[in-house]
Amino acid sequence: MGKLQREGIWNTIISYAGIGIGYVNTVLLFPNFLEEEQVGLTRLLISLALMYAQFSALGFNSMSARYFPYFRDKAKAHNGFLFLLLLIPIFGFAIITALFLFSKPLVVAAYQDSSPLLLDYYYYIIPLAFFTLLVNLLTSYLRSLYKTIVSSFVQDFLLKVLTSVLILVYSLGWMEFHQFVLCYIGINSVLLLVLLLYTMWLRQLFLMPSWAVLRVMPLRELLHYGVFTFLGTISTTIIITIDQFMIGSYSLSDNGVYTTAFFITTAIMIPAKSVLKIAYPQVADYWKDRNMESISTLYKQITLVNLILGLLLSIGIWANIDNLFSFMPEPYRAGKYVVLFMSVARLVDLATGINGIILATSDKYRWDLVFNVVLAVLTVWTNYYFIPIYGINGAAFASMISYASINLARLFFVQYMYGMQPFAWSSLVITVIAGLALGASYLLPFLGNVYLDMFVRSLLITAIYGSLTLGLRVFPEMNNWLLATARKLLGQ
């Protein structure tokens, strides 16, 4: 098993452990111990901090994946790369902070009538964004070193566990809500500390500046690439946050319902995120060597793996959707079709593979910006049109249309430019298998007990889906890996 597969498997295990805890937080703890408005506020604060951090980074997160292969030399402290990676974004953070402070009157005008609670916590966003920025930069650096497991553990597991503890403490009445928000910011500082200590343990925390960084690659080229990726980051951040901002301007309570339903579908993307963390620098290395055959092979393999796991999760979620909402207060049931539309959007994202990474790390990276800008414009327009008419369902439907349109466009572009496409007959076969498994679940009546029904329904889907996938050898490498693993466990 290659390094990519090992890292991907461990990342997937960590991510699914985290998603399990995340489901407990999202389905059981947040809705039952916080008011809908408070849930909406916490999610909006996180989205604002993410946007703040992405703007501050000035595109240097992506720059790390693309250019680090040229700087990699541990004996020379990677030629001062980490210092540069941190310096420019911290400078960007100072600029964005000034703009953030000056723009408060605009935020007040937009939210004071519908969501005044946000204004009470406006300044809390600054430290949250700072910790988010540094965590993202260190994660990007570690990913370039092919060290993704600990960063996955920190962001996908440790954060969820600490959040669970925090909610439980709050539920016991040992703190007020404003203290809860402060403690959540404190959790993010813990994540940063863990990553710093891990980087030190690896002996990779090279913070001293070096003029060598300018000799390896001209600063002008780095900044030029950073400008393009920064513009792309603006587009991407708009894409993933605009729905929350627009819904929040109507009602923080609606945002609480929407983001809860939205989170339910995040499990579908876990396999992709786990693999893409290591695939990004791998594709960059392939481009450096002009190894087109390896890029094409990786493109097909990752797409099929993502589809196999993503389809299983999406049909499992939809088959159990009423059971999941039964654990939450009644208002949250309004998010049922948000789950449906977002599940379709995520499956389209999975089905188009790593075309975005291929573009972003290639000499055509400027086109990735074009696609992101178009997607951002399309996302804003569709949300602006559908949210006033259909509310939270309109936001999810807008996302589905936007993601489907732009991913198909990017897919055809990669095929036209490089002659690569990620699909095979196995992609169609696994889609049919998913339809059969979901159809079989509808034949099973409700068993009278939510826990029993979820268990039996999920077991039925998994048995049908798994047996057909393995029996028809949809992905032979998976069959071989499972067989080898079984032999090891049995000591053969």
Strand blocks (E) in 100-247: none
- How confident is the model over 320-337, as pLDDT tens digits? 999 999 999 999 999 999
Q: How many helices (H) and strands (E) would you count in the chain?
A: 24, 0
Alpha helices (H) along 26-124: 30-33, 36-57, 60-71, 81-102, 104-111, 117-120
Q: How far apart are the first and last CA of the chain?
A: 18
pLDDT at 188 over 80: yes
Cα–Cα distance between 147 and 52 in angstroms, integer?
26
Domain that holds residue 391: 3-489
Instruction: pLDDT band for 129, please (50, 70, 90 cuts).
Output: very high
Q: What mean pLDDT comes out for the span 195-200?
A: 89
Select from 378, 423, 384 the least CA-distant residue to 405: 378
211-215, 298-302, 349-353, 360-364, range with the lowest pLDDT: 211-215
| Dihedral angle computed from the Cα positions of residues 264, 375, 250 and 99, in that order, rounded to the nearest 10 degrees | 110
And the tokens for 438? Answer: 């979901």
- How confident is the model over 54-105, as pLDDT tens digits? 888 877 777 776 777 777 767 666 666 778 778 888 998 999 999 999 988 8
Instruction: pLDDT band for 210, please (50, 70, 90 cuts).
Output: low
pLDDT > 70 in the chain, percent? 89
More confident residue, 147 or 188: 188
HSE toward the beta carbon, residue 58, CA cutoff 13 A:
18
Cα–Cα distance between 294 and 6 in angstroms, integer?
18
pTM for the model stands at 0.78
pLDDT recorded at residue 1? 46
Q: What count of other Cβ atoms lies within 10 Å of the Cβ of residue 388?
A: 11
Instruction: pLDDT band for 319, please (50, 70, 90 cuts).
Output: very high
Cα–Cα distance between 359 and 34 in angstroms, integer?
42
Strand blocks (E) in 211-341: none
| Dihedral angle computed from the Cα positions of residues 135, 137, 138 and 139, in that order, rounded to the nearest 10 degrees | 80
Per the structure, the count of domains in the chain is 1
- Enumerate residues 6+ apart whose C-beta is below 8 A from 392: 247, 254, 257, 258, 261, 334, 335, 338
Cα–Cα distance between 69 and 83 in angstroms, integer?
16
And the tokens for 136? Answer: 């993202």
Mean pLDDT of the chain: 83
And the tokens for 443? Answer: 């034949």
